[in-house]
Amino acid sequence: MKTPAGRPLRAAAVCGIAVLLLALTGCVNERTSGDNQIFTYEWWVPALMFFGGIAVTAAGWFTRRLHNSWPYVLLYAGPVLFIFMAPAYFFSKATLNANELNVRGGFFGMTTNQTVKFADLSEVHFTKEITTGRRGRKNTNHYLDCKLKDGKDVRLALSHDCLKECTPHFLHEVLVRKIPLIDENGTQLELTPK
């Protein structure tokens, strides 16, 4: 059953989600621990995801009798936020030291764990792939393709915010070691850390 109060509630929910997503931009913390430069999300990002997920779930629960389907979307989206997304943001990390770059992320930091050792690195390609989505929208993805001396490749996706912040430092270390850096898409790279 729909009520006149449904439209303001829907607008408030959409605005709340938009504010949550805007709050999650530009929130990577850089710190140094000994020889390591560590890039993680700020502490409040996973906390906001966790408590935001609980709030979204509660909003869905309390409005389920007022609307037909919208509260059930909230009831399913809330647990996804606080069970899956919050731990993924909490455990995401990029660590750079004199020997290697390590990138960890995904569900509880276990799904993505990539290490690139400078001693094993033969060249780095900065690449871009344009893919087409189901509805014809073009998506541009940027990668660091690290070619190793043993012939293997390690592809680091620059959609990972912690790695994105670490990239100028990593490229600086690559150039200091005179490892070839190949820019395949014509973009000027910022090669020195700020």
| Range with the poorest average pLDDT among 15-29, 50-64, 68-82, 150-164 | 15-29
Residue 3 neighbours by CB distance under 10 Å: 11
Which of 72, 113, 71 is closest to 95 using CA atoms?
113
* Percent above pLDDT 70 for the chain: 80
Calculate the alpha carbon distances from 112 to 115, 150, 154, 176 in Å: 10, 21, 12, 27
- Assign residue 26 a region (left: φ > 0; alpha: ψ between -120 and 50; beta: otherwise): left
pLDDT of residue 109: 62
Q: Could you say which DSSP state residue 138 is in?
A: E
Query: Between residues 23 and 99, which one has the greater pLDDT?
Result: 99
Q: Could you say which DSSP state residue 134 is in?
A: T
Once rounded to an integer, what is the mean pLDDT over residues 123-139? Answer: 87
pLDDT of residue 135: 86
Please say if the pLDDT value at position 19 is more than 80. no
